Amino acid sequence: MAQEARPAHCLVFPYPLQGHINPMHQFSKTLVSKGIKVTLVTTKFMFNSFQQLSGSMPVETISDGYDVEGKASAESLEVYFARFKQVGSETLKKLIEKLNSTGFPVDCIVYDSLMSWVLDVVKSSGLVGAIFFTQSCAVDNIYYHVKQGLIKLPVVDRVSVPGLPVLEPLDVPSFIHNPGSYPATRNMVVNQFLDIDKVDWVLCNTFYELEEEVIQWMSKHLRLRAIGPTIPSKYLNNQKTVEDETDTGLQMFKANIDSCMNWLNDQQDHSVIYVSFGSMAQLDDVQMQELTYGIKQSGKHFLWVVRASEEGKLPKGFMEETSGKGLVVQWCSQMEVLAHKALGCFVTHCGWNSTLEALCLGVPMVAIPIWTDQGTNAKFVADVWRIGVKVDIDKNGVFKGEMVEHCIREVMDGEKGKEIKKTSKRWMEMAREAVREGGSSDMSINEFVASFTQHSKS
């Protein structure tokens, strides 16, 4: 009797940050639904930091050289990146050797674009390699042009990039219009395209219909496929959901799930503004005061996520004064909040994960970008996809509370808000169609899977 072919085995290796792990973890679950054996790879420190990452998917760890205290103990980001490359390469090779000896040898590695050094391990191991971009294709294309020397730094005038609208300096990522702000991070994001022509696949967490023009342009130069949006399938109303639907991803902070849901259940439909700036973005004291003013003056009920490290920036007595109108929590399950019928608007920093989540659930946005790729995402939210409005921000990155109030009222009550709500629903349906069987992202994933399943049969 012929031996039954083993399933193809794929390692999925995100950069060790919550905003990178979650989309790649969701993509991993999609691969599992296609019959692929997936092992999620993370650093030892990150694994020990998980508040939640349930489910049956196996997780293996490697070292970044900072197993006990994490990258915060490194002398600088430059030192951390260099150490991660050196130690990570060695321990990843050992992990592959260990797995190859277990009867489930590795066929493919999907790795985060911030760790371009993984390509050397892929090639030396004779595997199929796929680089995974957790940013939008628009942002990817900007970084690609910087790497090619086609965009000169700093960006002080309007720039024209193929497949994109004309961009003002504040519409490009902060590392580009202000390249001296975080030089180590700037080098890392630009070097995502180091040796990109040697990669077998370029996967992007977006969908074709959302970024058609830029995807068409980039696909002429790279073997690029849009495979998103990578959010839990239960929120996309898929015809066939994947396993572990109670698992919505990694949580680095303990969520106040019950208190949030109970409070939302008591609110009227589409009446609440949800305010969150993600797991990393920080506002200074003055900007926190302005945001507080805008939220309070809008007169709307609000659910506001203020991380423990940021609570001290709230005005004295704010929570007591607004207890009848709002709820302030340190963390929540964002997908559950965005999916709640009480939600009317999302005041967001426009991180790419948050942007996609709101888009997929049809929630209009008020965009207040802070740094990195958020300015570009906000530009598309307001001017290209027309699913929100953007708070005016000056060249120093400062916004006013009156503008926050105006934007909230415009989305919640204004005539423009009515059109935004209709447009948001249309994009929601297109996102869901992309991941359904036969949709654009589903077909791209099938094509990718077919490219390495032959390894397991040889």
Catalytic center residues: 20, 112
H helix count then E strand count, the chain: 17, 13
- CB environment 80-92: b (16+ within 10 A), e (fewer): bbebbbebbbebb
Estimate to the nearest angstrom the gap between the alpha carbon of 185 and the chain centroid.
17
C-beta contacts of 91-95 below 8 A and 24+ residues apart:
91/62, 91/63, 92/13, 92/41, 92/62, 92/118, 92/121, 93/121, 93/124, 93/125, 94/62, 95/11, 95/41, 95/60, 95/62
The phi, psi pair for 60, rounded to 5°, reads: -115, 155
Give the integer Cα–Cα distance in Å for 312 and 164. Answer: 40
Estimate to the nearest angstrom the gap between the alpha carbon of 392 and the chain centroid.
23
Establish whether the linkage from the previous residue to 169 is cis, with ω within 30° of 0. Answer: no
C-beta contacts of 388-391 below 8 A and 24+ residues apart:
388/346, 388/358, 388/364, 388/420, 388/424, 389/365, 389/416, 389/420, 390/366, 391/366, 391/367
Closest CA to 363 of 272, 440, 442: 272
Q: How far is CA 285 from CA 199, 246, 291, 323, in A?
A: 44, 37, 10, 21
Give the integer Cα–Cα distance in Å for 190 and 397. Answer: 22
Question: What does DSSP say about strands 224-226 and 108-112: parallel, antiparallel, or unpaired?
Answer: unpaired
Query: In DSSP terms, which residues pair with 41 in a beta bridge?
Result: 60
Q: How far is CA 333 from CA 247, 249, 354, 439, in A?
A: 11, 10, 12, 28
